[in-house]
Chain A
């Protein structure tokens, strides 16, 4: 990827942060942002906080940008100088490295929102808890290409994660559960459905959709289902998918199974319940 004028990544406050190529003019920055806003369908959720280093713009330029973002329902605010320390643009964004190496072409145009949030949370972890003791086992990065400078630490999840979301129905194609807590589904998760949880996922039924546990970096999260035959399993920053079985072979697992991270890999093992 060549040098971009405007880079977007997750920020400390749980929103997005912009960094700019050093030599870029204001006009080119403005145009680039506008282009991104117009075509980045679904990437910029309304109400997202967008931050930028305060010293880059004059007051006039800042108000122009604020208006632009406001038009698309985004909140644009200068970053407090204290936390601006990591605004350098040399660092790889987790999200874009994922895009380059992991995600198939189908999703490459617009970064899925969950990744966006996951990035935000991961960055959050880095900048808000610099004093936390070093993570003893950076397992998450073992299977991840080494693009990310620091592992997604498991420790500080966003607060108020203790409760659990209970879904008392079958999740059908196109439906999505997105939460920072754990999820219990009493019903099936059909192909095309998605669960993105900050905690663990328990499915009392058959899981055929996409499930992401520990979406905010919790590598101790796990996924349990009576029948675990998902399209994709994601735990923290690891992704596994079901093997490409020959068409028509209808493989059914015998009983309940549990997926969790062991030695930097997603491992699925049968359990009793």
Chain B
């Protein structure tokens, strides 16, 4: 029984594509057969994050317009061989994909894959509507920032209108120290407004930047906090009950040192 997830957010830059790459990688490392579909036509990035840009032969548009069978367009990941990418076109725009064609494609793929992850473009226009058309579950990514939360709220409303009722939340780029100081929205504030099931709290981590530039999702790094958070999310998606990470706080002695000016 395969599941189709769409990773969406409304606002740009909150980490949809990073999340897609990491969750895909994580599920595949657990031995699942996974395909990632990039629907951000014209602004594709998912291939970069996976380090697969130079292997692309065909794209999503070629498939939905019937020029090639989808298996020909899939790019296998170079290290994890149960992970595939269906990239999109960099020259066309969002109107080039027909929602019904995408639904048909996903249903075809259900036969072959355990998980289908769709990376949604920012915004609530056609690209968004196309991306969510096929999904069983929507994962809304947001950040502890007022505009990102506001947009997530709007997206949840739109998903409800499209009758996508299974919605999960991932809060990305949390800076525990700022939350502690009251300079950033905390999880309570976010849950208060969005009130949907949260499956992940990912800390802001510089390693995400380096891993993005290297084309290797940070979930593969054992020393990355964000990677650990993504591994936890993967476990939760597979039905395991994993408690949320607690972020290391400066200990009592370190605070004491601060007081005494060390």
B is bound to A: yes
Q: Is B68 an interface residue (CB 8 A)?
A: no
B154, A206: Cβ atoms closer than 8 Å: no
Q: Establish whether residues A248 and B183, one from each chain, have CB atoms under 8 Å apart when the complex forms.
A: yes
B189 touching A192, Cβ below 8 Å: no
> From DSSP, what is the main secondary structure of chain A's interface residues?
loop
Q: Is the CB of B182 within 8 A of A248?
A: yes
Interface string of A82-121 (1 = CB under 8 A from B): 0000000000000000000000000000000000000000
A23 to chain B, nearest CB (A): 46
Q: In chain B, residues 151-187, which have Cβ atoms closer than 8 Å to a Cβ of chain A? A: 151, 153-154, 156-158, 160, 182-183
Question: Contacting B153 at CB < 8 Å: which of A169, A190, A248?
Answer: A190
A115 to B50, CA, bound (A): 52
Residue of B nearest to A169 (CB): B160
- Complex partner residue of A174 from B154, B189, B193, B195, CB under 8 angstroms: B154
Check B111 for interface membership: any CB of A closer than 8 A. Answer: no
Known: A248-B182, A248-B183, A250-B189. A173 touches B154 (CB 8 A): yes
Of the listed residues A172, A175, A208, the one surrounded by the most CB atoms of chain B closer than 10 A to its CB is A172
Q: How many residues of A are counted as interface, with CB atoms below 8 angstroms from the partner's CB atoms? A: 14
Chain B residues near A191 (CB-CB < 8 A): 150, 153, 193
Interface string of A169-189 (1 = CB under 8 A from B): 110111100000000000010
A172-B153, A173-B150, A174-B157 in contact; A190/B193 too (CB < 8 A)? Answer: yes
CB-CB contacts below 8 Å: A129-182 with B: 169-170, 172-175
Collect the chain B residues with CB atoms within 8 Å of residue A173's CB.
150-151, 153-154, 157
Q: Which residues on the B side are within 8 Å of A170 (C-beta)?
A: 195
Interface residues of A, Cβ cutoff 8 Å to B: 169-170, 172-175, 188, 190-192, 206, 208, 248, 250
